[in-house]
Structure 1
Amino acid sequence: MSSFASDFPGAVRLSVLDRSRVREGEEPGRALRETVLLAREVEALGYHRFWVSEHHGVPGVAGSAPTVLAAAVAAATSTVRVGTGGVMLPNHRPFVVAEQFGVLESLFPGRIDMGVGRSLGFTDGVRRALGHDKEEAGRFGEQLAELLGWFTGGQTAHPGVHARPAEGLRVPPFVLAMGEGASIAAEAGLPLVIGDLRGRSRLLAAVEAYRSAFRPSAWAAEPYVVVAGTVAVAGDEEEARRLLVPEAWAMAHARTRGDYPPLAPAGRIEALEMTPKQRGFYEDGLRGHLYGTEERVAEELERVVKETGAQEVLVTTSTYDRAALAESFRRLAHAVGLRAPVPPARPGQSGPTG
């Protein structure tokens, strides 16, 4: 690893979102188990949060039940914050979501985050199977207000009903959004998770609008911005760029064939004969991400933080080679000067003071 001294702002947090991406030739269960193992690795490196995602009926993604997976991650770790990026409210009843996070917070007090979003199922068939349609996304603000009300005891949609054990607990809520969703986060006075890093002008406009419209709430006194995106770090720029290849091809495949496949090895993808349309989507999928050596990525991340004023960066990188992905996270942690956390004291032991 490089020995350069990082100038990355020390107050900015660095976190990870893992989508439990399936690799070619493996069963989905392995992807879920690897997510738990990755959480332990990034915790040891000093990352602030580790979040999991929600996808339904997608061949290339195993994470369909984020609160269940978050429980497994929290049980396998001890210091990193654990949450969802996110639970998609249009797919669920807010009452049930509150109950699930109430259970998580009760089992792992002080370590659970509740990230929620407004996306729907990947296809019409999946949306029908979930029992919802595209119009549900338009009710996100209403659903969000009800969800928060189950924790405060202030919900009015169902008088006399209480979410147990959620009521009275403080589980930090985050809104995953762009555009309209960002305005909902501002109105509700909640932290915003926004991406991706490729559409920088759109990202900056949404962040500015969020900050301008933010209304302090019982959940957050000031705007809090988490910018999300792909970051790949390796010994040289070309090696880092190759980490982006599997996901770029999966997106190109999805946009031209209608399904989102498991990740394939970069070498096989680079040898493929693509149609012009596929090639266009593939090349587009490689552009705009942050990748390169430690020095270059640290400089680029510092620029992103200065432009957006973000308090946190959520890294969403996926690739076929899990060892290379783990190395990328190690290099990134070194590049920005993360430090390993102090483990909590065991029962009967004295913890550090202060």
Structure 2
Amino acid sequence: MIPLSILDLAPVTEGSHAAQTFANTLDLARHAERLGYRRYWLAEHHNMPGIASAATAVLIGHVAGGTSDIRVGAGGIMLPNHAPLQVAEQFGTLASLYPGRIDLGLGRAPGTDQAATRALRRYYENANEFPADVVELLGYFEPATPGQAVRAVPGAGLEVEVWILGSSLFGARLAAVLGLPYAFASHFAPAQLVEAVDTYRREFRPSARLSRPHVMLALNVVVAETDEEAGRLFTTQQQAFVRLRRGSPGLVPPPLDSAAAINDWCSPVEKAGVDQALACAVVGSSETVRAGIQSFVENHRPDELLLTANIFEHAARVRSFELAMHAAAT
């Protein structure tokens, strides 16, 4: 069976608060560990009321400290927001506390709007500085050498699995030339999925970190007892996406009364945009999802899948990931 992992967007739902989100995150991570998921990733976002994972490294420590074996990491850290040395120190600290369990996915987008980017006070010319920042960061994880002026303490010589994240050919080529594993954001930006994965595999150069290309693809998966109920639960994610495109992100909304209700809730143009962005989605009963995951894997041949589900009720989200694992395993 292909390894499955979870991307948790740490949703803050309407009527809830961040403290409850963090409790839910740890609860879901513990379920994921028992179910056999390989990784549990959290993503850096800022200035978004419905996502509570802004202090990503802190939340990773919370999850890793409350679990035993599952790998925990960032999917990802938005490197333009941070000095590479600071990231190396943070993840060196995590790797010291939880050896052999920490992943560091790196992205080149700020993960926020322009106002919040300015407020973060990390000034850079443009995202083309990203490759140099990645190389600098990787250097801090190498064993320190005599006379080295700056070193990551802790960090130097520690095992931190570094990934490149992307939704375009830029990240695919960078991951290939550096010999790093590659995770593609097909869960919200699937347009260049095929071309990016093909480019990464074709241009991959073996490195000390990785001898052959390794791809993880993100997939929206919502599972319930029936296709109809899963479709209804999925309207939470559809609404959240439309609100983001409207420029008014808020707390994560409850689902609509039915899957079809989304057609009345938003305009046809907005619905078309949602369908395009969330095209990599498998929604339905266990039987439907089993067939959907199998088809996605056959079409794209990933080495791993990163499942995500923005479901309003925590119990339904936990149940969805439970059913998804069982569906993929049979």
TM-score by length of 2: 0.92
User: Of 149, 158, 161, which aligns to 1:172?
Assistant: 161
Q: Give the number of aligned pairs.
A: 325
The 5 Å alignment of 1:145-184 reads 145-153=135-143, 159-178=148-167, 179-184=169-174
What's the Cα RMSD here?
2.3
Change (3 A) 1:200 1:260: closer
Q: Using the TM superposition, give the Cα deviation of residue 135 of structure 1 relative to its aligned residue in structure 2, in angstroms.
A: 3.9
1:143 aligns with 2:133: yes
Instruction: Quote the Cα distance in structure 1 between the aligned partners of 2:273 and 2:301.
Output: 31
In 2, the alpha carbon distance for the partners of 1:290 and 1:196 equals 12
The sequence identity of aligned pairs, in percent, is 38
**AA paired with 1:169?**
L
Corresponding position of 1:329: 321
- Structure 2: distance between partners of 1:275 and 1:231: 24
- Runs of 4+ aligned structure 1 residues displaced above 6 Å come to none
Partner of 2:64, secondary structure, is helix
* Stretches of structure 2 lacking an aligned partner (at least 5 in a row): none
Question: What amino acid maps onto 1:334 in structure 2?
Answer: H
Provide Cα deviations, 1:233-277, integer angstroms capped at 9, x if missing partner.
112212111221111111111212x13211111136948754555
Provide the residue aligned with 1:264 in structure 2: 253
- Counterpart AA for 2:298: K
Tell me the equivalent position of 1:348.
Answer: none
Structure 1: how far apart are the matches of 2:220 and 2:285? 14
Matched position secondary structure for 1:319: coil
Match of 1:305 in 2: 297
User: Is this contact kept in 2: 1:51–1:82, CA < 8 A?
Assistant: yes
Paired residue for 1:233? 223
CA contact under 8 A between 2:38 and 2:70: conserved in structure 1?
A: yes
1:38 and 2:28 are equivalent in the alignment:
yes
When residues 193 and 121 of structure 1 are mapped into structure 2, their CA distance, relative to the original with a 3 A threshold, is: closer
Bigger Rg over Cα = 1
Cα distance between partner residues in 2 of 1:197 and 1:38: 20
Structure 1 portions without partners, runs of 5+: 1-9, 339-354
Partner of 1:90: 80
Between the aligned partners of 1:266 and 1:75, the Cα distance in structure 2 is: 32
The TM-score with structure 1 as length reference comes to 0.86
Q: After superposition, give the CA deviation of every residue in 1:36-78 in whole Å (9 maximum; x if it has no partner).
A: 1110111111111111111111111111011100000001000
